Amino acid sequence: RGGGAARGRGGAAARGGGGGTADPQRCGLIRTPADISEVFAFHLDRILGLNRTLPTVARTIAFIRGGLPRPVVLWDASLPMTDNVTHSTVRLNWKSYQESLKQKCWVHGKVPKSDWSCSEIHHHEWCKLALFDFLLQIYNRLDRNCCGFRPRKEDFCVQTGLKLKCDNQDSIDLAHIIQRAQDRRHLVFIDNKAYFDRSEDNLNFKVLEGITEFPESAISVLKNGHLRERLLQSLFLDELFWESQGGRKGIEKLIDVIERRATIFLTYVNARGFKVLRMNE
């Protein structure tokens, strides 16, 4: 419980001790205190067996005023630069994304046809992303305009006016869709700020739209009754995050939210007869 280092967006770096040049393998992106839920997202990702987020820990940064805990995300030099509009390595709008889902791109190694709207991303990656984003109610990837729920006035989509542009949803670009340069079939989940305060009558089901298959490893964790225990054990290892949420009582409240959403999600999957598959390719 402890240790680590950080590299800020502006290039400032905190290192784990000593002088000299920062080791790229020991640097991280410093996020804002408002993004602290990214720590929870990292632990949930690992417990569900998705393994798509970058390691994330809570830290107080000595050279930043305020002293509030911030998430620090391990720097991954293999991630390529992204465009300034969608912060993605692949450009997809909602229409082309939905069309690609119908084709189940790259499943069983089948090479897509040129008119299938497929990107280089394997179909199962979208299944994992949709599940993850629903449980945490992350909207900035698959529904950046907040067309699938009622956002708060402080949400980014309201502040920037994107919520007002839901009339033609087919043309809305996906955002924060990231692949490694040497591994174009798989996604890396970044910017994983979670929303625990969204009421159950305002959950964003749009992030699940078009997905009819889900990963067996994650579904089994949601079903077997051990999600709470495993999250408690995992989150306890990040002492600063644990304490920042009010200790075990506060952590339990966060897990309560995820468990309720998991129940809603499983009901959704069962009612539609969606498939649960091994997705370990």
Spans of all domains in the chain = 6-74
Helix H or strand E segment including 186:
strand 183-188
| 13 band by pLDDT with thresholds 50, 70 and 90 | very low
For residue 58, list its beta bridge partners: 71
pLDDT at 10: 33
| 66 band by pLDDT with thresholds 50, 70 and 90 | confident
| 80 band by pLDDT with thresholds 50, 70 and 90 | confident
From 2-16, 21-35, 94-108, 130-144, the region with the lowest mean pLDDT: 2-16
Stretch 82-104: mean pLDDT: 94
Q: Is the pLDDT of residue 107 over 90?
A: yes
| 181 band by pLDDT with thresholds 50, 70 and 90 | confident
Distance CA 152, CA 59 (A): 28
pTM higher than 0.75 = yes
Stretch 28-42: mean pLDDT: 97
Q: Is the pLDDT of residue 3 over 50?
A: no
Which candidate, 108, 96, 116, places its Cα nearest to that of 210?
96
Distance CA 108, CA 120 (A): 14
pLDDT at 12: 34
User: 13 with 26: CB under 8 angstroms?
Assistant: no
> pLDDT of 122-160, one tens digit each?
999 999 999 999 999 999 999 999 999 999 999 999 999
pLDDT at 65: 86
pLDDT at 14: 40
SS3 276: strand
> pLDDT of 207-262, one tens digit each?
999 999 999 999 999 999 999 999 999 999 999 999 999 999 999 999 999 999 99
Distance CA 158, CA 171 (A): 18
Q: Is the pLDDT of residue 104 over 50?
A: yes
Which candidate, 207, 215, 211, places its Cα nearest to that of 278?
215
pLDDT at 25: 60
User: 245 with 251: CB under 8 angstroms?
Assistant: yes
Which candidate, 15, 134, 34, places its Cα nearest to that of 75?
15
| 23 band by pLDDT with thresholds 50, 70 and 90 | low
pLDDT, the chain, mean: 91
